[in-house]
Amino acid sequence: MEKPTWEKVLVLGSGPIVIGQAAEFDYAGTQACRALREEGVEVVLVNSNPATIMTDPDVADRVYIEPLTVEFVERIIERERPDGLLATMGGQTGLNLAFQLTKKGVLERCGVKLMGTSLQSIERAEDREEFRSLMQELGEPVPPSVIVAEVDAAVEFAESIGYPVIVRPAYTLGGTGGGIAQDRETLEKIAQGGLQASMIGQILVERSVAGWKEIEYEVLRDSAGNCITVCHMENMDPVGVHTGDSIVVAPCQTLTDREVQTLRTSARRIVDALGIEGGCNVQYALHPERLEYVVIEVNPRLSRSSALASKATGYPIAKVATKIALGQTLPEIPNAVTGKTSACFEPALDYVVVKIPRWPFDKFSEADRSLGTQMKATGEVMGLGRNLETALLKAVRSLEIKTFGVLLPEFVELSEEELSRRCQKPDDQLLFIMAEGLRRGWEVAKLQTLSRWNPYFLRALEKIAKMSDTLRQAPWERKSLLAAKRLGFSDVVIADCWQSDEEAVYQFRIKQGIQPVFKMVDTCAGEFEAVTPYFYSSYDQEQEVEPSARRKVVVLGSGPIRIGQGIEFDYCSVHSVLALRAAGVETIIINNNPETVSTDFDTSDRLYFEPLTLEDVTAVLEREKPEGVIVQFGGQTAIGLAKPLAQRGYKILGTSIEDIDRAEERGLFDEVLQGIGAKRPRGEQAATLEEALKVADNIGLPLMVRPSYVLGGRAMEIVYSPLELEHVILRALAEFPGQEIWMDQYLVGTEVEVDAVSDGENVCIPGIMEHLERAGVHSGDSIAACPPLTLTLAVQQHIGELTMAIAQALKIRGLLNIQYVIYQDEVYVLEVNPRSSRTVPFLSKVTGVPIVDLATQVILGSTLKDLGIKPGLWPKPEHYAVKAPVFSFSKLIQVEPSLGPEMKSTGEVMGMDRTHEKALYKALLASGLSMAAHGTLLVTLADRDKAEGLPLVKRFRDLGFRILATEGTTEVLKKAGIAVERVSKLHQGSTEITEEIRAGRIQGVINTTTHNKKQASDGFVIRRSAVEHGIPCFTSLDTASAWLQVLETISPSLMPLESAH
Amino acid sequence: MPFLVLQDRTVFEGEGFGAWPAERGEQAGEVVFNTSMSGYQEIITDLSYAGQILVLTHPQIGNYGWHDEENEADKILLKGLIVRELASGEGSLHADGSLKEFCQEHGIWGLKGVDTRALTRHIRQQGTIPGVLVVGEEDGLQYWKRVENRELNWHPHQHWVYQTTTAESYEIPGKGPFVAVLDCGAKRNILRSLQEYGFRIRVFSVTTPAEEILRARPKALVLSNGPGDPSELPEIVATIRELLPKLPILGICLGHQLLALAAGGETYKLPFGHRGGNHPVQDSRTQKATMTAQNHGYAVREESLAQSGFQVILRNLHDGTVEGMEHTTYPVFSVQYHPESAPGPEENHKIFEDFFHKIGLIG
Ligand SMILES: Nc1ncnc2c1ncn2[C@@H]1O[C@H](COP(=O)(O)OP(=O)(O)O)[C@@H](O)[C@H]1O
Ligand SMILES: Nc1ncnc2c1ncn2[C@@H]1O[C@H](COP(=O)(O)OP(=O)(O)O)[C@@H](O)[C@H]1O
Ligand SMILES: [Mg+2]
Ligand SMILES: [Mg+2]
C-alpha cells in the first residue's frame, strides 16, 4: 500500500494547565510541530494557552490562539482546509475534540483525515465496556467490573464481588471523581461524584487491586505493525495512588526479567490488537508475590508518562510518534541520539530515574492532602543518578519544598501512633514520614506492612536515613563524606549532620578532591557513540563532558510547575536560549522538570538535568566555565540562586545582585521609590497585637496583612475590621512568636501590570495590562486586558514614565515586571519583580514584541538603540486581548475557591479579537465558563458588597435569569424591586441550596465572602459545591460583571413592553 | 584491595564480593559487557559466558534476588562479575536467595563499586579485551607481564565448548516427534521451548559423531548456543557438514555460526560483540523488525556465504550484521540471536513455531 502524503496538518493543543494536564503537552505538541515541518509539512496549530512554546509564530506556520471548542476548531478547519488532523498530542482535550469533530461530521465534510491512531482504536481503548470485551478476546486479565449509570447498580455489584472496590468514571482527566470504597456508605458517595465527573455519565466499578505493584509501559507502534516499548516504569507507591501522584522509578527496579517480559509481551499484544499508530501508555497492576497481573488502563495517546519516559530515556517519543502518524515506519526513522542507527530499538539505561510529583499543598494548607485515585499534583521533578538513592535525593531537592533531605525536623516530635497512622494513609509527605520511622529504627518489614511499599524502596530510604547517623558519628571524615556523596547527599544535609554550614562543607569537599563527574544520557548504556548533549552528575570515576572553547552562557530553568510559577517561565527560559543561539552563543540549560520544552535535549546546545540548587549548579559551572549565568527567566527559583552563586564568584549576567536586592528588600526598595518620588501604599511593621492595632489606627482599615512566616502558605490577608485584624495577627504570632508582620494600606483600586525591557538607560514598555478585578485579587488570578480599558491616556503616560524611572533607578539590565494600583486617580507601586513574569508570554503575543529575545540581547550587552527598539511606552495594539485564569478547584478537595491576594489558579487562556467584548468572550469561553444566558443564578452578597451588587443582579435578571438569594440579600433585592426567590441558609438547618446545586437547577453562583474564612461557613459550602459541580462561581463582583458583560453582548435581553417606557 | 587489570594495563579498583580467595589469587578472562536492564540471573547462568568476565551496565544489580527456577544451566563457568552497585535483593517477595550468595556458592568473583560505564566505554572504544581480577594492582600488572613473556596463558588451551556441552547425551521424554539437540552449552530455555511442543528430545554432546545422531533417527536437529570462537571447532563443523543435507536443522547463536562454517562460510570477531536485550533485527523479506536478546562476540561474514547455499534473511538494524539465514535447498534455518529469550524480549519465540511448522513437526 503506498503511503498517504500530507501537505497541511492541523495540530491540537491541550489548552490551559490544569491538574492532570500540564506542560507535558506543550513539549509533545512542540516536538510534533518540529517533526512535521522537518518533513516539509505545513503546520497549523490551535491552542488557547498563550504561555506555551507551541503557540509561538515560529513553531507552526499558522498559530490560532482560540478556544478549544468544536465551533472554533470547525471554523479553523473550514478556513485552513488541512488534509490531516493530529489530535494525539493534545492530551484528553485533543482526543475529546477529535471525537466531537468526527461525530459532528466536520472532518468528513472538510476531507480531513485523523492522523495516527484511528478513532475506532481510541474509542476501543477509552470506552471501558469496549475495552473490557477486547481484553477478554485477548485473554488479557482485567479486574472484574461493571459499568453503571446509577449508584444502586454500583452497590449491587460491589455486594456481589465484595469490597474493597474502586470507582472510575469514563472520559475524565486525572482520575477526577474516582476513588476506592471499603464499604457501602463510601461507595455511594464516590459513585455519586464519579457519575457527575464523567462526560458520558458512566462509571466503572471494579475489584480493587490496591497494594499491588503499579507498572507502566510506554509503547510505540507504526502502521506496518513494528512495535517497541520505549520504557517501563514502576510506581514506588503501590496501586491505589494515581500514577500522576506517585513517586515513579524508571526502569522497573524490583521486577524479574520474567515479570518485565510478561508485561511487555502483554503490552505489545494490546497495542497491536488496538491497532495503535503512534504512542500508547499501558498501566498494570502486578501481584507482589506471584506472577499475576491485571491491566489497569490504556492511554492511546501521548501522556504525562510518555513525556517522563522521553526525558528518562532520551528517546524522543513525540517526534517519532509524529513521523509514524505521517506514515513512516520505525525502521525507516533515523535515531536522533546516535545520528546513525534507526529509531526502532529499545533504550537501555545505565542510570536510575526518579520522578516525584509537586503538590500545591504548600499554598493550600487547608486542602485534603491524602492521595488516591484522583490526581492532585500540579507538576513534577525528575532526578537521575547511578543509584536509586541519588536519583531520589536529587528529585527531593528539586521540589523546592524547603528540604534537601528526607528527614524533616517537624516530624521528630510525632508520636509513634501518629507516625504509623500516617504510614497507612498515603499523602504528599509519606516519603518523609516513613524516613522518620526508619530514623527511629523501625524495621523495613514494619513499614512494608503499614504502607505496602516494596522493601527494596524502603531499604533505599533506610540507607539514606542511616547515612545521616554515620555522618554525625564521623564529622569531617573523607570516607563518610564520599559515601554520603555517592548516596546523593547534598552539602546542605551533610552540613546539618556536622553542625556546620554548606559553604564549609563545600570547601572541605573540594579540598578532599571530591567532585562529581558528568555522564551522558545516550539511550544505549554506552554501547554506541552518542551525540545527545544531555548530562547528569554522578560521583563516579570517568568525566564524559568536554567543555567547548566557544563563548557560552548558562540559563537557569524554573523547576517544577506549581501555582505561582508555571509554564510561563519555561517559555521564557526556552526563548532566552533561542535568542542566545541566534546570537551565536553556546547555550547550557540546567533544569529538573521532565514535562517541559526546556528539558528537550535539542532545545539548548547542552542540557544538564540537575536540581536547581547552589551545589548542583556550581558543579555544572565548575565544569563548563561559562561566561556567565542568566537568572532572570527561571522565576523565583533562578533569581533566588543569583546571590549565592555570585558569592561563589560566578558572574550573573543582566541586572546586578545589588540591584536585585534593592528591588526585593522592602527597606531598600522604599528608598528607591522615594528617590524618584513614586508612591506606594503606606505600610508599617508590627511584632505584637498592640503595635498592630496602633498601625491600624495610623494607616486605617482595610489593611493588607503580610506575616513574614506562615506554615503552609496563605500568607497575605485583607482585613476590614479590628476584630479580623486581631484574629489574623494572633494566628500568625501563635505560629511564629515575635515575627515582623507587614501591614499595608489596602487600596481598593484598579490593578495594572507592566512588563518592560531595560538596558539601564532606555526602557521599552510593549504594553500595559489592566485587571478586571480590583486590587486584592492576585494578579495571577485576575482577568487582564490589553490594551487597558479604563485608564486615561494621562494615567497611562504616567505609568510609562514611572516604569522607566524605576527601571533606571534599579539599573535593570533585562526584564522587569511591575504591579500598580490606581487609587483615586493616583498611581501606587505594589511590587517590582526584577525578572521575567507570568505575563511575558501573553504580552509578547498581544504586542508581537519578542520581549525575552530583546531582554536576552540586552543581557548580552546590546542596548535597545543597537537593537533599533523605540524606548518608552509603545502605542496600543490594533486588536484587543484578554487573559483569563483557569483553576483546578474541583480536584483540590477542601480548598477555598474564593479569590484573594494569594494566587490559586493553575493555568491561563487568552482571547484576542477586534473588540474587547469579543476577546473577553473568547477568553472566558476558553477558560471553561458556560455561556448560557439563562437559568437560575444563586446570589449571596456580603453586606459590604450589597449596594454595589444590586445593579449587577438587576442586569442578570433583565437577561432572563431567575434569581435565588439568601435572606439578607433577598431583602435588599426586594427593596430594589428585583424579582427574587429566597432560599434558606444552610445553618438554618436546610440543605436546600446544596440540593438545588446537586440537582443541576442552578447555573451560576455569585457569592462574595464575609471575611471569616471558616470552612464551616455557609459561603464555603456553597462555593465548594458549585466548583465541584462545575457551575460558574464568582467570588468577586468584578469577575461576575465581566461574565455578565459577555452574556449581554452575545444574547439579547428580555424586555417586556411596559418597562420600555 | 580487589582490582580489575585489563591487558592494556587500564586499572579499575573496586570492592570484592562472591568467591574471592582469602589472600592472593587471580582470575583472568575476556571482559565483555551486557546492557540488559533485567535478567542478570539468566545472563550469569548462560554458559555462553564461559571463561568471561561480565560487566553489567545497569547500575544496580541483584535487585530482585535469586529465583532458582530461572537458572539457564547448573554448571557456572563465568569467571567474574563486575557491577557498579550490588543492590539489596529484596525487590521480589518470592525470591529463593540472593545474587551475592549465588556468587559465593558458585565461585564467581564479584567486583562492585566500579564505574561500569567508564569500563563499558573503554571496551566499546578498544574492543573486547582480556582482563584479570586480582587482589592488589601490582599482581595484575605482573600477571600481564608474565603473559607477554609467555610464562603463562590467560585462557585454557581447550575450547570452552568441551566444558559447556553435556558429558553424556541424555533424553527428555515427550509424546511428540523426536528432536535432537547438539549441545554446545544450551540454555535451559531452548530445551523448555522445545518441550512446549511436546517433543521427545535427545541432547547430544558436541563430540557425538554424525552417524550416531543419524542412527537415533531424529526428525530435526537443533544446534544450540555456546561459548567462544566457532572457527576453532573444526571437528564439530565437520559433524554438522555431514548432517546438513540429511536433517532439518535449526541453528541458534553459536549453532548458527557453526552452520555457516559447515557450509563453507566464514566467521569473524566483532569489535565488542552484541550483548543485551534491545537489538533490532530486520527481516529483509517483510522489512519488519523485532527486538532480540543477543549474546555473541563473533558473527557470520555475509560475503562469505555466496557459495554456501545459505541466503541471509535477517540483519541487525544497527550494524547490518547477519542475524539469520535460510538454506535455499535444505530445510535448514538459523538465527544469531536468542529466540528463546530468557532474558529478553519474547517476541521471537515464533521462530521455533515457524521452523517446526515448516518441516511438518507441528500442525
Ligand atoms: N482496580 C483498581 N484497584 C485499585 N486501584 C486502582 C484500580 N484501578 C486503578 N487504580 C488506581 O487508580 C489510579 C487511576 O486510575 P487510571 O485508570 O489510571 O485513571 P487515569 O485515567 O486518571 O489515569 C491508578 O493509577 C491506580 O493507582
Ligand atoms: N496594598 C495593597 N492594596 C491593594 N491590593 C494589594 C496590596 N498589596 C497587594 N495587593 C494585592 O495582592 C496581590 C498580591 O500581592 P503581591 O505583592 O503582588 O504578591 P506576589 O508577590 O504574590 O505577587 C496583588 O496582585 C494585589 O492584587
Ligand atoms: Mg492512569
Ligand atoms: Mg504580584
- The whole-number pLDDT of residue A996 equals 86
- State chain A's mean pLDDT as an integer: 94
Q: Report residue A163's pLDDT band, with 50, 70 and 90 as the boundaries.
A: very high
A1018 within 8 A of A1010, measured Cβ to Cβ = no
**How many residues can be counted in chain A?**
1061
Q: How far is CA A301 from CA A327, A376, A487, B52, B276, in A?
A: 16, 21, 36, 44, 29
> Burial, B358: exposed, middle or buried (Cβ in 10 Å; 0-12, 13-18, 19+)?
middle
Q: Report residue A894's pLDDT band, with 50, 70 and 90 as the boundaries.
A: confident
Which residue type does A114 have? L
CA distance B39 to chain A (A): 5
Would you name the residues of B annotated as active-site residues?
253, 338, 340
Reported ipTM: the value is 0.97
Q: Average the pLDDT over A297-309 and give the result.
A: 96
Cα radius of gyration (chain A): 28
Q: Report residue A1017's pLDDT band, with 50, 70 and 90 as the boundaries.
A: confident
Q: What is the pLDDT of residues B239-287, one digit of tens each?
A: 999 999 999 999 999 999 999 999 999 999 999 999 999 999 999 999 9
Q: Give the number of other CB atoms < 10 A from CB of residue B156.
A: 11
E strands in chain B: 2-6, 11-13, 15-18, 26-34, 52-56, 60-61, 80-82, 85-86, 109-112, 129-135, 170-172, 178-183, 200-205, 220-223, 249-252, 267-283, 289-300, 310-316, 322-327, 332-335
Question: Could you say which architecture CATH assigns to the domain B160-358?
Answer: 3-Layer(aba) Sandwich (3.40)
- The whole-number pLDDT of residue A176 equals 61
Helices (H) and strands (E) in chain B, counts: 10, 20
Q: What are phi and psi of B99, to 5 degrees?
A: -60, -40
Residues of B in contact with A288 (CB under 8 A): 93
Distance CA A544, CA A534 (A): 11
Residue labelled with grid coordinates 510593549 = A766
Q: Which of A534, A536, A484 lies closest to A514 in space, CA to CA? A: A484
Distance CA A669, CA A683 (A): 13
C-alpha cell at A171: 472520559
- CA A379–ligand 3 middle distance (angstroms): 16
- The whole-number pLDDT of residue A3 equals 62
> Which of B59, B67, B93 is closest, CB to CB, to A288?
B93
Distance CA A203, CA A176 (A): 11
β partners of residue A741 = A686, A707
pLDDT higher than 90, residue B22: no
- CA A297–ligand 3 middle distance (angstroms): 6
pTM of the full predicted structure? 0.96
**Which of A329, A346, A527 is the mutation pick for testing B, counting most B CBs within 10 A?**
A527
| Among A180-194, A379-393, A639-653, the least confident range | A180-194
pLDDT higher than 60, residue A712: no
> Which of A256, A289, A350 is closest, CB to CB, to B38?
A256
- The whole-number pLDDT of residue A1059 equals 55
Q: What is the pLDDT of residues A357-390, one digit of tens each?
A: 999 998 888 888 999 888 999 999 999 999 999 9
A-contacting residues of B 253-282, CB under 8 Å? Answer: 276-280, 282
pLDDT higher than 70, residue A711: no
Within chain B, all domains assigned CATH 3.40.50.880 are found at 160-358
A574 within 8 A of A597, measured Cβ to Cβ = yes
Q: Report residue A1028's pLDDT band, with 50, 70 and 90 as the boundaries.
A: confident
Contacts of A789 (CB under 8 A, 6+ apart): A770, A916
Distance CA A804, CA A655 (A): 15
- CA A600–ligand 3 middle distance (angstroms): 24
Instruction: Determine whether the interchain pair B42/A288 forms a contact, defined as Cβ–Cβ distance below 8 Å.
Output: no
β partners of residue A717 = A705
Domain B3-147, CATH among 3.40.50.720, 3.40.50.970, 3.50.30.20, 3.30.465.10: 3.50.30.20
B267 within 8 A of B231, measured Cβ to Cβ = yes
Q: What are phi and psi of A963, to 5 degrees?
A: -105, 125
Distance CA A1009, CA B251 (A): 79
- The whole-number pLDDT of residue A505 equals 98
C-alpha dihedral, B318 to B320 to B322 to B326, nearest 10° = 110
Instruction: Determine whether the interchain pair A540/B288 forms a contact, defined as Cβ–Cβ distance below 8 Å.
Output: no
Q: What is the pLDDT of residues A781-807, one digit of tens each?
A: 999 999 999 999 999 999 999 999 999
- The whole-number pLDDT of residue A174 equals 44
- The whole-number pLDDT of residue A984 equals 81
Q: What is the pLDDT of residues A944-984, one digit of tens each?
A: 899 999 999 999 999 999 999 988 899 999 999 999 999 88
Q: Give the number of other CB atoms < 10 A from CB of residue B283.
A: 14
A255 within 8 A of B41, measured Cβ to Cβ = no
Q: If you ran DSSP here, which 8-state letter would residue A377 be given?
A: -
Q: Is the CB of A243 under 6 A from ligand 1?
A: yes
- Please, what is the Cα angle at A240 between A376 and A561, to 5 degrees? 25
Within chain B, all domains assigned CATH 3.50.30.20 are found at 3-147
Q: What is the pLDDT of residues A686-707, one digit of tens each?
A: 999 999 999 999 999 999 998 8
Q: If you ran DSSP here, which 8-state letter would residue B310 be given?
A: E
Q: Report residue A933's pLDDT band, with 50, 70 and 90 as the boundaries.
A: confident
Distance CA A195, CA A216 (A): 27
Q: What is the pLDDT of residues B132-173, one digit of tens each?
A: 999 999 999 999 999 999 999 999 889 999 999 999 999 999
- The whole-number pLDDT of residue A493 equals 98
CA closest to B57 among chain A residues: A350
Q: Parallel, antiparallel, or unpaired for β A203-207 and A145-148? A: antiparallel
pLDDT higher than 90, residue A569: yes
B-contacting residues of A 336-365, CB under 8 Å? Answer: 341-342, 344-352
Residue labelled with grid coordinates 488557547 = A48
- The whole-number pLDDT of residue A199 equals 60
- The whole-number pLDDT of residue A710 equals 59
H-run or E-run covering A518? strand A517-520
Distance CA B49, CA B294 (A): 12
* A706 at B interface, C-beta within 8 A: no
Give the distance, in angstroms, between the CA of residue B333 and the centroid of all CA atoms in the same chain: 19
A311 within 8 A of A128, measured Cβ to Cβ = no
pLDDT higher than 50, residue A1015: no
Q: If you ran DSSP here, which 8-state letter would residue A852 be given?
A: H
- The whole-number pLDDT of residue A707 equals 81
Q: Average the pLDDT over A753-778 and give the result.
A: 97
A256 within 8 A of A225, measured Cβ to Cβ = no
Q: If you ran DSSP here, which 8-state letter would residue A3 be given?
A: P
Long-range contacts of A52-56 (CB under 8 A, 24+ apart): A52/A13, A52/A26, A52/A567, A52/A571, A52/A841, A53/A26, A53/A570, A53/A571, A53/A574, A53/A575, A53/A597, A54/A11, A54/A13, A54/A26, A54/A29, A54/A30, A55/A13, A55/A845
Residues of B in contact with A386 (CB under 8 A): 59, 84-85, 117
Q: If you ran DSSP here, which 8-state letter would residue B243 be given?
A: H
CA distance B210 to chain A (A): 36
- The whole-number pLDDT of residue A1058 equals 67
| Among A744-753, A928-937, B271-280, the least confident range | A928-937
Q: Report residue A195's pLDDT band, with 50, 70 and 90 as the boundaries.
A: confident
B293 within 8 A of A257, measured Cβ to Cβ = no
- The whole-number pLDDT of residue B23 equals 83
Q: Parallel, antiparallel, or unpaired for β A84-86 and A145-148? A: unpaired
Percent helix / strand / coil, chain A, rounded to 5:
40, 20, 40
pLDDT higher than 90, residue A170: no
Instruction: Determine whether the interchain pair A257/B41 forms a contact, defined as Cβ–Cβ distance below 8 Å.
Output: yes
**Which of A212, A333, A456, A542 is the mutation pick for testing B, counting most B CBs within 10 A?**
A456
- The whole-number pLDDT of residue A134 equals 96
What does B166-177 look like in DSSP terms, one character per residue?
-SS-EEE--SS-
> Burial, B88: exposed, middle or buried (Cβ in 10 Å; 0-12, 13-18, 19+)?
buried
C-alpha cell at A720: 476590614
- The whole-number pLDDT of residue A173 equals 46
Distance CA A1008, CA A943 (A): 9
**How many residues can be counted in chain B?**
363
